[in-house]
Structure 1
Amino acid sequence: MTLSSQKPTVALLCGGRSSEHSISLITARGVLGAIDYEKYNVVTIGITRDGRWFLTDEDFLNRLLEENALADFPAEGKQVFLPLGGGDNRLRLIDSKDETHVEMGPAIDVVFPLLHGPFGEDGTVQGLLEMADLRYVGCGVASSAIGMDKHFMKVAFEAAGLEVGPYEVITHRQWVQNPGQARERIQALGYPVFVKPARAGSSFGITKVNSAEQLDAAIEEAHKYDPKLVIEAGILGREIECAVLDGHRSANPLASHPGEIVMMDREHSFYDFESKYVSKTSAETRCPADLPTDVAQQLRELAVEAFLAVDGEGLCRADFFYTEDGHLVINEVNTMPGFTPISMYKTMWENTGVSYAQLIDELITLALERPLGLR
């Protein structure tokens, strides 16, 4: 591809070191299929599971995902390095077969980090991009870190006056030093509870626990993804989501029509990984959600409050429970929600009148408007 200096060059990052590596590749494929190539030059960078960056493209991702929907990005081709500071935003490229030769790559105007989970959505990559003086789509370092950690996220929500369901945080130290006390704290929540890794996404490592006998196995499963766990009391209510899009400069953020996830079979008691990405029949999304007008408006306002509570930038998806007694309980925000063909974030905006291509353009425009440094 010949890059024109008259169009902004967007670097899409995908893959990454987290358990959501393959979901990130599917997200990138979706964005590459919808981005306006008449308006933007696009450079696609795949990050391997061990953290190395390589150039890739839409055709390669399509072939890779057709062969294996849970594929890793191969460590071959031109490896990518970012310059750190100094006002030089050109990529450095090194051929994996000849590491003695450094080639100057294209200059990057904005980065779209389509990375989910730790080492991508949690402020780590955002910090790297800040050091490199590169603008990027989405939340900054602190808000990304808070939005990734279910513990500190809830603390931020509570400080902002949002209603949060009962929960306990179990650190690795607490579990090792006094597991009996940890079990007592969890059991005080009442069953069922949901045992969750504090900093994982796509429902990896989450188990619904209906009795004390199931607890230790659920904790062991969650510990595969994170030493810190959040245990949430089960809440009877409908799962309602809302997409938030930042305002330009100092304008207020916007909220989409709410959407709802409805479980369609008894094999899946909650919206787990298989329901989200594998099964085509276990869950159904409805947008707009069937809510009273005043409740839908209140939920949209609360979604914006949740976004501001974590000091969000760019975008987020806010997830709520609408309880049987009419309460809206915030569950979490996702600061880089999926952009797959079935992802709720883009679906909610499409049902609010913003197309996939328009949404991507708006997110990139917001990032290009944002000043470098502290803001």
Structure 2
Amino acid sequence: MMKITVALLFGGKSTEHEVSLQSAKNIINAIDKEKYELTLIGIDKRGQWFLCDQEDFLINGDSPKDIMLKHKGLAVAFQMGKDSEQLICFAEKTFTKSIDVVFPILHGTYGEDGTVQGLLTLANIPFVGPSPLGSGIGMDKDVAKRLLRDAGIPVAKSLTYHQWEQPGINFEAVVEQLGLPVFVKPASLGSSVGISKVKQQDELFAAIKEAFAFDHKIIIEECIEGQEIECAILGNEIPIASAVGAIIPQQEFYSYAAKYIDDQGAAIQIPADIPKEIAALVQELAIKAFQVLCCEGMARVDFFLTKEHNVLINEINTIPGFTKISMYPKLWGISGISYTDLIDRLIQLALERNIKDKSIRKSY
């Protein structure tokens, strides 16, 4: 049987570059190498793309804190609109390579936000995960919240501010509408980067400055007291939900370090110790949110569960982490889908969607 060529796309210009390297390493170890032939494409922090050696592409690969991408290999790019030999390599003698499907494991901006998905769509290359539209919506917490509210899905109350509005942000007005404490977040970033918990007035403007350092738009959100609950989604038109898991932070909140560096930073409880009817509601809302936000392939939906057993959606992640302590593969593992089978299903979903997309007329 001829192997399917999978281009694993990782690294990137995002603040989550190092997380992507960890995820890529785990996918490389878990993918079925009898069925798939891997082509590794690393993107450095400047945005340059190059081929990587599977055996030697990381520095400090076993250290989440110090992991780095090696700057070596041939520069590459995708050719637009070709059905084969889409990958072009630049060297003393230019050569091309055919790619069957791309697995973008690019967390955050310039990877999870629809930019790469748009490029791959133009290049006629199937890819894992949501379309450019679903990716862009999922990345922007402000837009996602508006769509979820319109669909009757409960979300935490929040205020949105653009950078030009920064001088007019008023502490008293924020407290009147949201109370204290509040969370200040970049609107389009993940992995808790740039997020601050604000308990008093003198902390607010430092938190706003921090969030605006990472984005041109921020949200200030009410603090929901309760458990952090997560559910993984898999599928295209008829998605399925995993078991529900709980995050029990050992810090003030589920920070970047707790997610990706300190494996003692949070306790993970799978399945979550919650009533069965609440778990079923979380699964139902996760699937509904996935569909409302135009997602396909995969996503992880994060919730708050209050002491009164009210369920609110926090956010959706369209390229969830695949590190050794990441919830997405762990949730599917406890639900009966191994890491290797999960990767296989995601690739097959990408190929199925591509067949459907090819049936759409392109001329009139």
TM-score, length-scaled by structure 1 = 0.91
Q: Is the 8 A contact 1:244 1:255 kept in 2?
A: yes
Question: Structure 1 vs Structure 2: percent identity of aligned residues?
Answer: 43
The correspondence for 1:54, drawn from 44, 50, 61, is 50
- Alpha-carbon RMSD across the aligned residues, in angstroms, is 1.7
Q: Is the 8 A contact 1:35 1:357 kept in 2?
A: yes
The correspondence for 1:156, drawn from 147, 164, 171, is 147
Q: Is the 8 A contact 1:170 1:228 kept in 2?
A: yes
1:260 and 2:243 aligned = no
Matches within 5 A, 1:1-375: 6-66=2-62, 69-95=65-91, 98=92, 101-104=93-96, 106-176=97-167, 178-180=168-170, 183-188=171-176, 189-247=178-236, 250=237, 252-264=238-250, 268-371=251-354, 372=357
Q: Is the 8 A contact 1:25 1:61 kept in 2?
A: no
Query: Alignment partner of 2:345: what SS?
Result: helix
Query: Alignment partner of 1:28: what SS?
Result: helix
CA distance in 2, matches of 1:126, 1:195: 28
Report runs of 4+ in structure 1 exceeding 3 Å deviation: 61-64, 66-72, 372-375
Deviates more, 1:14-23 or 1:80-89: 80-89
Deviates more, 1:51-60 or 1:6-15: 51-60
List per-residue Cα deviations over 1:56-87 (Å, max 9, x = no partner).
13322354424774444344320111000143
Cα gap change, 1:67 to 1:257, in 2 (>3 Å): closer
Segments of structure 2 that go 5 or more residues without pairing to the other structure are: none
CA distance in 2, matches of 1:271, 1:58: 32
Cα gap change, 1:64 to 1:58, in 2 (>3 Å): farther
Q: Is the 8 A contact 1:52 1:75 kept in 2?
A: no
List per-residue Cα deviations over 1:310-344 (Å, max 9, x = no partner).
11100100001111111110110000000001100
Segments of structure 1 that go 5 or more residues without pairing to the other structure are: none
Q: Is the 8 A contact 1:85 1:133 kept in 2?
A: yes
TM-score, length-scaled by structure 2 = 0.94
CA distance in 1, matches of 2:258, 2:59: 24
Q: Is the 8 A contact 2:64 2:260 kept in 1?
A: no
CA distance in 2, matches of 1:142, 1:13: 19
